[in-house]
Amino acid sequence: MTAGNSNLPMVWDLIEAKKQTFAELADRVWETPETCYMEVQSAAQHREMLQAQGFRVTENVAGIPTAMIGEAGEGGPVIAFLGEYDALAGLSQTAGTVSHDPITPNANGHGCGHNLLGSASLLAATAIKDWLEQTGTAGRVRYYGCPAEEGGAAKAFMVRSGAFDDVDIAISWHPSNFAGVQRETSLANCRIDFTFTGRAAHAAAVPELGRSALDAVELMSVGVNYMREHMPQDCRIHYAVLDSGGISPNVVQAHAKVRYVVRSPELQGLITLIERVKKVAEGAALMTETKVESTILAGVSNLVVNTPLMDAMQDIWESMGPPAFDAEDLAFAEQIRSTLTPQDIAASWAQERLEEQDIPLADFVLPPHKEVRQMGGSTDVGDVSWVVPTVQAYGPTLAIGTQLHTWQVVAQGKSPLAHKGMVSAAKAMAATGLAALQSEQLREAAWADLKKRLKGHAYVSPIPEGAEPPIAAMTLK
Ligand SMILES: [Zn+2]
């Protein structure tokens, strides 16, 4: 069994020896929150750490300046650890606080905990590297520095570039309320910009000569809203107006632009729904006598889970247990909890189908639930999971009830409890990586499971041919 592996204590000791160095890396990334493809300083921090730890570094992966791969070891299987370091706009927040208190109003903040995510994955990769060196074992370990998880689909571009072609097993994690194994699939999604072009005119003197692009955007929203009643209920559509045509009501708006995000449980359903949204856009253009152009910016595939790897990681978590939080961690988590609503707290327990308990931090490991569930969000880990057997952990870095993409996540992002949660995730990931490295049987079972789940479907990139990473477009956000 994986959990009885006699090499485990050694790998965990290697993590313990370097945990402070990597907590400091997570803190530095927290201090320079950068969004979607703009992670210049955060990527530099990761690159420097890879070099300091003795990895061979490849930069500019898939033509993305903030994407990188660090590799160590020779021969043998290839184990990949996926890291992220992008932040979110508008979530600036002072560390360690228990009320909404931005450092700079409307500035960026690490509202999804990716400062911890990248650092723990790199820590796990480093522990495996150190273990390979000290034991003289054949095998390669890689750290994939993946930018733009939030809306940029960098991993889908990295997959398309062939960066994962020779990988045997991929491992990642996400900061969470709980400790355990992720057993959820995610939605496939696609980001599309619709640009309407009309004709300007004096809105009072000659309105009959004008054709409003803004009207077209509004009518498209109305059409999509009516369509919601007639689409599969597990699909999602959201939008943001990027250009409303100007600030002058007395000028008919000649240009307008709206960005849509369309989500569906599977790639095929996504493609069907995108075609319907495009028809609504064309209808809006027809009604307003404007023109519409659509551009797909990025897309991600649904997540494919892997039973043998989830079971191996479950064993490891059960032998390891949750992190040992101390009285100070509990007191801080209790204060954070006082800022949450009863609905926030109930939602966290309900997501895991658990009976609500009156505790601020997870003191248990998530039990394996029987069926694989669908989560509402999307992740570009989905694209990796179609081409490599992939498993992900949950690390307990947040007071129970904390919802992602809130100021409370940022407030907790540099706390001792977050550091403990990230170290426990690094241990679970490294131990799973070690199991996969040492067991050909586990690797074969993981590949057989992936083939079975794909039911003969080949991976088709959700990114249109010729589309480049939307690095420039993201500055519009
Ligand atoms: Zn996230």
Ligand 1 centroid, distance to 234 Cα (angstroms): 21
* Distance between start and end Cα atoms, the chain: 48
The rounded Å distance from CA 404 to ligand 1 centre is 7
What is the structure's pLDDT at 371? Answer: 80
CA distances (Å), 315 to each of 223, 351, 388, in order? 49, 22, 21
What burial class does residue 329 get, using C-beta atoms within 10 Å of its C-beta: 0-12 exposed, 13-18 middle, 19+ buried? buried
Report the alpha-carbon distance of residue 7 to residue 229 in Å, rounded: 55
Calculate mean pLDDT across residues 373-380: 84
CA distance 216 to 230: 21
Average pLDDT over residues 43-70: 97
CA of 91 to the centre of ligand 1 (A): 14
Helix (H, G, I), strand (E, B) or coil at 54: coil
User: 182 in helix, strand or coil?
Assistant: coil
The Å distance, Cα 112 to ligand 1 centre, comes to 4
Euclidean distance between CA atoms 348 and 442, whole angstroms: 32
CA 80 / ligand 1 centre spacing (Å) = 19
Q: What integer pLDDT is reported at residue 138 of this predicted model?
A: 97
Is 422 in contact with 397 (CB distance < 8 Å)? Answer: yes
Distance 394 CA to ligand 1 centre (A): 11
In which element (H, E) is residue 73 found?
Answer: strand 68-74
Rg (CA), the chain: 23
* Residue of higher predicted confidence among 267 and 322: 322
Q: What mean pLDDT is predicted for residues 223-236? A: 95
Put the strands of the sheet holding 139-146 in their side by side order: 56-59, 68-74, 139-146, 78-84, 169-176, 390-396, 180-181
| Ligand 1 centroid, distance to 193 Cα (angstroms) | 23
Q: Tell me the pLDDT of the chain averaged across its residues.
A: 94
**Cα 208 to averaged position of ligand 1 atoms, centre (Å):** 48
Ligand 1 centroid to residue 32 C-alpha, Å: 17
Lowest mean pLDDT: which of 55-69, 78-92, 369-383, 420-434?
369-383
Beta strands per DSSP E along 177-312: 180-181, 184-185, 188-197, 236-243, 255-264, 291-300
Question: Separation of 287 CA from ligand 1 center, angstroms?
Answer: 40
Ligand 1 centroid–CA 84 distance in Å is: 8
Give 300 or 324, the one with higher predicted confidence: 324
Residue 180 pLDDT greater than 80, yes or no: yes
How far, in Å, is the centroid of ligand 1 from the Cα of 227?
Answer: 29
Between the CA of 360 and the centroid of ligand 1 the distance, in Å, is 21
Q: Which residues pair with 88 in a beta bridge?
A: 109
User: What is residue 476's predicted lDDT score, i.e. its pLDDT?
Assistant: 43
pLDDT tens readout for residues 2-40? 556 788 889 999 999 999 999 999 999 999 999 999 999
Q: How confident is the model at residue 477 (pLDDT cuts 50, 70, 90)?
A: very low
For residue 235, how far is its CA from the centre of ligand 1 (angstroms)?
20
pTM: 0.89
Question: Could you tell me the distance, in angstroms and rounded to a whole number, from the CA of residue 237 to the centre of ligand 1?
Answer: 19
What is the Å distance from ligand 1's center to 349 Cα? Answer: 19
Could you tell me the distance, in angstroms and rounded to a whole number, from the CA of residue 194 to the centre of ligand 1?
26
Query: Residue 225's pLDDT is what?
Result: 97
Say what the pLDDT of residue 378 is.
86
By mean pLDDT, which of 100-104, 138-142, 185-189, 322-326 is the weakest? 185-189
State residue 291's pLDDT score: 98
Residue 163 scores a pLDDT above 90:
yes
How many angstroms is it from 370 CA to the middle of ligand 1? 25
For the stretch 383-415, pLDDT in tens is: 999 999 999 999 999 999 999 999 999 999 999
Structural domains of the chain in order of their starting residue, each with its CATH number: 8-186+303-454 (3.40.630.10), 189-300 (3.30.70.360)
pLDDT at 62: 94
What's the CA gap between 293 and 298, in Å, rounded? 16
Assigned token pair, 48: 């420097």
For residues 405 and 116, give the distance between their C-alpha atoms in angstroms, rounded to a whole number.
Answer: 14
Q: Is the pLDDT reported for residue 474 higher than 80?
A: no
Whether residue 188 has pLDDT greater than 70: yes
CA of 321 to the centre of ligand 1 (A): 23
C-alpha of residue 118 to centroid of ligand 1, in Å: 11
| Element (DSSP H or E) covering residue 72 | strand 68-74
Reported as a pLDDT band with limits 50, 70 and 90, residue 473 is low
